[in-house]
């Protein structure tokens, strides 16, 4: 006999396989380079938003340094590819490791501060990264930027070389990265470490009183979130093929904040929905150039006023109420 738990697991696995197959089949159904371009950007910003979501939604600390780690990952991958002629996978690995190490170092003093002071500190760190990228000309080429970043290629056992130079192939690379990171985050937030994150979010003093080393777990979350942001930066650099200090400017920060907050922090699905809406929406509104920013602002303001917990948070609350009704009905 198959238990109900096994049936649920099999059903969940089948649903996941259907979703994965549906996502990966998109480039074979959609031939428009423009639509694929929008989907690729949505995926990159989704990864970046998930890095912020880990800190804000699960640990309760708003980190404005995520776009700094995004830029560090992008510059790391770009410099290794252009200056040192290293393959993409080496750049990607170091784009994860370097931001994580930097986060671990700066996080020791930052995460000892109050939550409000932490926000200001991470903003200051973002500005420092912008100044370094702009003035360390010998490494970053300053305002001139780094052109000619090659498309990713993977050499499989020295037998087959796979190139991701087309938009369809890059979409598959990007979506594979999205799926891996989403699965990793689901496992993480449902683990013992994830429960420690949530305890810190709910009441840090109480978490500390029951024996949770809050600084340790905050550092773990900050380092992991920086590594995830580094992945997004590496994918961004190799897709756009040009990089300059504007990657550290406030547009990326504003965009990822909107995606995370409106999508719903503290849920895995919220940033997914937010990245789709707020990457596609500005493109759709281009048909009304005069009113584009007004309409965009009204939609954003209405969402914040009517659903302060975000779209994902509202859906999570709705599903929780339905489950409770089902329990009481029995």
pLDDT of residue 319: 63
Is 271 or 288 the better-scoring residue by pLDDT? 271
pLDDT at 6 over 80: no
Which backbone phi and psi does 155 adopt, to 5 degrees?
-100, 110
pLDDT tens, residue by residue, 20-30: 666 767 777 77
pLDDT of residue 20: 67
What residues have CB less than 8 Å from 289, skipping those under 6 apart? none
What residues have CB less than 8 Å from 137, skipping those under 6 apart? 144
99 token code pair: 């931001």
- Cα(223)–Cα(262) distance, rounded to whole angstroms? 24
- Cα(264)–Cα(49) distance, rounded to whole angstroms? 10
- C-beta of residue 55 within 8 angstroms of C-beta of residue 223: no
Give CA separation, 134 vs 102, 124, 142, 245, 288, in Å: 19, 15, 4, 6, 35
Closest CA to 146 of 158, 134, 160: 134
Mean per-residue pLDDT over the chain, rounded: 86
pLDDT of residue 312: 66
Mean pLDDT of the region 225-239 = 96
What residues have CB less than 8 Å from 277, skipping those under 6 apart? 262, 263, 311
**Residue 52 — pLDDT band, cuts 50, 70, 90?**
very high
Closest CA to 48 of 77, 21, 24, 72: 72
pLDDT of residue 277: 80
pLDDT tens, residue by residue, 152-208: 988 766 677 788 988 989 999 999 999 999 999 999 999 999 999 999 999 999 999
**Residue 62 — pLDDT band, cuts 50, 70, 90?**
very high
What residues have CB less than 8 Å from 249, skipping those under 6 apart? 130
pLDDT of residue 261: 83
pLDDT at 315 over 90: no
pLDDT of residue 14: 63
**Residue 138 — pLDDT band, cuts 50, 70, 90?**
very high
Mean pLDDT of the region 276-289 = 73
pLDDT of residue 105: 96
Q: DSSP character for 203?
A: -
Q: Where are the domains of the chain?
A: 22-249
Beta carbons within 10 angstroms of residue 17's beta carbon: 10
3-state SS class at 156: strand
b vs e for 141-172, b when ≥16 Cβ sit within 10 Å of the residue's Cβ? beeebbeebbbbeeeeeeeeeeebeebeebbb
Is 140 or 266 the better-scoring residue by pLDDT? 140
Closest CA to 268 of 186, 191, 197: 186
- Cα(7)–Cα(10) distance, rounded to whole angstroms? 5
Say if pTM beats, i.e. exceeds, 0.85.
Answer: yes
């Amino acid at each position: 006999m198959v238990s109900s738990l096994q049936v649920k697991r099999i059903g969940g696995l089948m649903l996941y396989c259907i979703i994965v197959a549906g996502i990966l089949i998109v480039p074979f159904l959609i031939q428009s380079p423009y639509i694929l371009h929008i989907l690729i950007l949505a995926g990159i910003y989704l990864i970046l938003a998930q890095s912020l979501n880990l800190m804000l939604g699960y640990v309760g600390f708003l980190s404005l340094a995520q776009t700094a780690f995004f830029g560090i990952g992008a510059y790391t991958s770009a410099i290794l590819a252009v200056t040192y002629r290293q393959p993409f996978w080496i750049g990607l690995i170091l784009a994860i490791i370097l931001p994580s190490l930097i986060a671990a170092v700066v996080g020791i003093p930052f995460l000892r501060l109050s939550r409000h002071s932490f926000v200001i500190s991470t903003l200051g760190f973002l500005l420092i990264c912008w100044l370094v990228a702009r003035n360390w000309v010998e490494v970053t080429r300053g305002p001139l930027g780094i052109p000619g970043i090659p498309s990713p290629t993977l050499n499989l056992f020295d037998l087959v070389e796979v190139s991701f130079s087309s938009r369809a192939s890059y979409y598959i690379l990007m979506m594979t990265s999205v799926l891996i990171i989403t699965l990793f985050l689901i496992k993480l937030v449902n683990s013992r470490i994830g429960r420690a994150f949530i305890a810190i979010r709910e009441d840090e003093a109480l978490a500390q009183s029951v024996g949770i080393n809050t600084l340790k777990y905050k550092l773990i979350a900050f380092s992991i979130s920086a590594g995830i942001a580094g992945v997004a930066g590496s994918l961004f650099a190799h897709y756009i093929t040009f990089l300059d200090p504007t990657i550290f400017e406030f547009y990326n920060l504003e965009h990822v904040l909107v995606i995370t907050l409106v999508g719903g922090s503290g849920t895995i699905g919220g940033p997914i929905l937010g990245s789709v809406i707020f990457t596609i929406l500005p493109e759709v509104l281009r048909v009304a150039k005069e009113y584009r920013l007004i309409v965009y602002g009204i939609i954003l303001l209405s969402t914040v006023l009517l659903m302060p917990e975000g779209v994902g948070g509202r859906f999570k609350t709705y599903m929780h109420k339905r489950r409770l009704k089902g329990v009481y009905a029995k």
